[in-house]
Amino acid sequence: MKVAVVGVTGMVGQVMLQVLEERQLPIDTLIPVASARSVGKKIHFQGKKLTVVGMEEAITMAPNIALFSAGGETSKVWAPKFAEAGTTVIDNSSAWRMDPSKKLIVPEINARELTATDKIIANPNCSTIQMVVALAPLHQQYGIKRLVISTYQSITGTGVAAVQQLENEYQGVDGDMAYPYPIHRNALPHCDVFVEDGYTKEEIKLVNETQKILGDSAIQITATAIRIPVVGGHSESVNAEFQKDYELDALRRLLHESDGVVVQDNPETNTYPMPLYAQGKDAVFVGRIRRDRSQPNTVNLWIVSDNLRKGAATNAIQIAEHLVAHQLV
C-alpha cells in the first residue's frame, strides 16, 4: 500500500501525517508531495525522515491513494493526472465538491456509495462535515425542513498565515495580515470571499454541500460564517426545523447513539462543547440541545469539532480506511 500526501508541508498536510500515524492505516510506503519550492525538504513519519518529492515524480511512484490538500487550483490540474495513472485521489479542496460526477463523502453518512471506479473523491468543507455528522441521523428520523446556521470558525481554517497574524497581534508585533482587519479581540463576519448577493463562498458551501451529502435539495438553508480568534476548532449554532415533531430525550438519545458524535449537554454542570477541548480530537461534539420556543418542530444545537482533524485530515483518512477495508483500491 502506497499513500501520497499532496501538500504535505501545509497545515492540513501535517495533521494528515499525524492522523495516519495514530490510526495506523496499513501503509508500506508514504510519499510526501509538495510544490517545487518544498521539494527536497525532509518530513518525519513513523520515526523516519522522508524526502519531499514533486508531482511528476509522485505519479511515477504509483501510489494507491493520494490525499490532496494543496488547494483547488492545484487539484484541478493534478488530481486528474493522478487518477489517470490509477491512483484514487481524496481531495480536500473545493475543486470537485459540487461536480455532479464526483462523490462528496462523509464516511459516517455515505461511504457506502463509493465504488472502485471513483478515482477522484471530494472531501467536504470543514464546517459542513461536522454539521452533517450531527444532522444526518436527525434528518433520517425527523426530516429536516430548514436550517439557520451561524458559524464561529477557527483561524486555522485560513492557514499558517492567519495563525501567524494572531500570534503577532498577541505580542504587539507588526507583520503580514491574512485578514483585512485584526483578528485578536475581534470577530470577522467574513469567511472566504463575498459573491454578488452578499453571501460568502463559505456560507454557500454550507448550503450546497449539505444538500448534496444528505441527498435532499429541498432543505432550505441560510448561513452566516464568522471568523473568531481561536485555534481549537469550529463552533456552529444550528437551528433545525423538522417536518415531524420530536421528543427532546429521544432526539438527544439518537445523537448519543450516532457514530462520530459525542453529546456534551448538561447545563447544571456547565457541560457543553468548546473548541478549547475539541482540539486534537476526532469526534463531533454536540450540546446546548433545546427546543426552539418560537416555532414548532424546531431544535437548537451547538456543534463543535477540530476543523483540521474531522473537518479535514481525519475525514479524508476515514475515506481511505473505507476504501482499503472494502478493497476498492
- Per the residue annotation, which of 126, 190, 191, 326 is the catalytic one? 126
Residues in the chain: 329
Strand duo 298-305 + 284-291: pairing: antiparallel
Cβ–Cβ < 8 Å for 95, 102: no
What radius of gyration, in Å, describes the C-alpha atoms of the chain?
20
322 is catalytic: no
The x, y and z cell numbers of residue 16, run together, are 494528515
H or E stretch covering 185? none
Question: Which residue of the set 184, 234, 322, 326 is catalytic?
Answer: 234
Distance CA 156, CA 264 (A): 24
Beta carbons within 8 Å of 170's beta carbon, 6+ residues apart: 184
Annotated catalytic residue 126: yes
Q: CA end-to-end span of the chain, whole Å?
A: 9
Cell numbers standing for residue 3 = 499513500
CA atoms within 13 A on the CB side of 279: 12
SS3 of 39, please? coil
Task: Kindly list the catalytic residues.
Answer: 126, 234
